[in-house]
Amino acid sequence: MKEAEAVQGVKNGIFETFFSEKKLLAVLIDPDKFDETCAGDFLRKIPQVTSHLLVGGSNVGNGKSESCIKAIKAETSLPVILFPGDHSQITETADALLFLSLLSGRNPEYLIGQHIKSIKKLRNSKLEIIPTGYILIDGGNECAVERVTGAKPLLQEDPQLIVDTALAGKFLGKKLIYLEAGSGAQKPVNGKIISEVKEAVSLPLIVGGGIRSREQLSEAYKAGADMVVIGTAFENGNFFI
Ligand code: 1GP
């Protein structure tokens, strides 16, 4: 039995790609900031090694997530994973959903509330649902996740608390851990934290927030990130890879 089957009972699908030898690169598209009329143009510029597109944001208007994904899908066959800031962004037009629980926060709305509200859409959904422990880590500036959820990020100076939070997520049944420094972070999650979390949980690991150079990207991969997410740099036309 392959590792992904052992972890989740999934044979094919997006979750399984986390168990390939390849390091994954996801480009984050925020429907709120994305110009759908230029979807093709943008997608031609992103790195060839891009493996996935993540779609979501903290403040996305009704229906925008769906129309954004339709515009993307008309231009590329890359798999699209929802990374929703709230339940209203969930749409069947995507391929998979990071079912995020903000484990570093104490706001019940983002631990379980939004999840219950999303069941109406998910009950008969064909989306691949990936239970994800989402951990917000201080990236040196206040980020949208903190503003919207009120959750204080965990400090990079306290790696033990980050490791314990990730491990608690694993024991709660999360299949994936996402270490998030916040979109536009001044400092990405450091390699020491990534490697300590990876070693402790041995689950697929996503790392994102503030990555804007080749060095930062390879540090994250070397430390154990299976997927790195990049949004702001590419949004600003900095296609550094
Ligand atoms: C944010 O991790 C992502 O959720 C990406 O962050 O926009 O800083 O690349 P950036």
Question: pLDDT tens for residues 24-69?
Answer: 999 999 999 999 999 999 999 999 999 999 999 999 999 999 999 9
Confirm or reject: Cβ of 208 under 6 Å from ligand 1.
Answer: yes
pLDDT at 6: 53
Please report the atom of ligand 1 found closest to the CA of residue 56: 4
Please report the atom of ligand 1 found closest to the CA of residue 181: 2
d(CA 195, CA 7): 20
How far away, in angstroms, is 134 Cα from ligand 1 center? 13
- What mean pLDDT, rounded, does the chain reach? 95
How far away, in angstroms, is 181 Cα from ligand 1 center? 7
How far away, in angstroms, is 2 Cα from ligand 1 center? 30
Q: pTM for the whole thing?
A: 0.95
Please report the atom of ligand 1 found closest to the CA of residue 184: 8
What's the N-to-C CA distance of the chain in angstroms?
Answer: 35
Confirm or reject: Cβ of 183 under 6 Å from ligand 1.
Answer: yes
pLDDT at 210 over 50: yes
Task: Provide mean pLDDT across the span 205-224.
Answer: 98
Residue 193 CA: distances (Å) to CA of 104, 162, 168: 15, 8, 16
d(CA 19, CA 38): 33
Confirm or reject: Cβ of 56 under 6 Å from ligand 1.
Answer: no
pLDDT at 8 over 70: no
Considering only CA atoms, which residue is closest to atom 1 of ligand 1? 183
Confirm or reject: Cβ of 227 under 6 Å from ligand 1.
Answer: no
Answer for the pair 110, 151: CB distance below 8 angstroms, yes or no. Answer: yes
Question: pLDDT tens for residues 172-206?
Answer: 999 999 999 999 999 999 999 999 999 999 999 99
pLDDT interval class at 240 (50, 70, 90):
very high
pLDDT at 7 over 60: no
What domains appear along the chain, each with residue ranges and CATH number?
A: 23-235 (3.20.20.390)
pLDDT at 128 over 80: yes
Question: pLDDT tens for residues 95-110?
Answer: 999 999 999 999 999 9
Looking from the CA of 164 toward its CB, the CA atoms found within 13 Å total: 5
pLDDT at 166 over 80: yes
Answer for the pair 142, 184: CB distance below 8 angstroms, yes or no. Answer: no
Give percent above pLDDT 70 in the chain. 95
Considering only CA atoms, which residue is closest to atom 2 of ligand 1? 208
Task: Provide mean pLDDT across the span 79-96.
Answer: 98
pLDDT at 21: 86
pLDDT at 9: 45
What is the DSSP secondary-structure string of 105-133? ---HIIIIIHHHHTHHHHTT--SEEEEEE
pLDDT at 241: 87
Please report the atom of ligand 1 found closest to the CA of residue 211: 9
d(CA 215, CA 201): 25
Confirm or reject: Cβ of 231 under 6 Å from ligand 1.
Answer: yes
How far away, in angstroms, is 232 Cα from ligand 1 center? 6
pLDDT interval class at 12 (50, 70, 90):
low
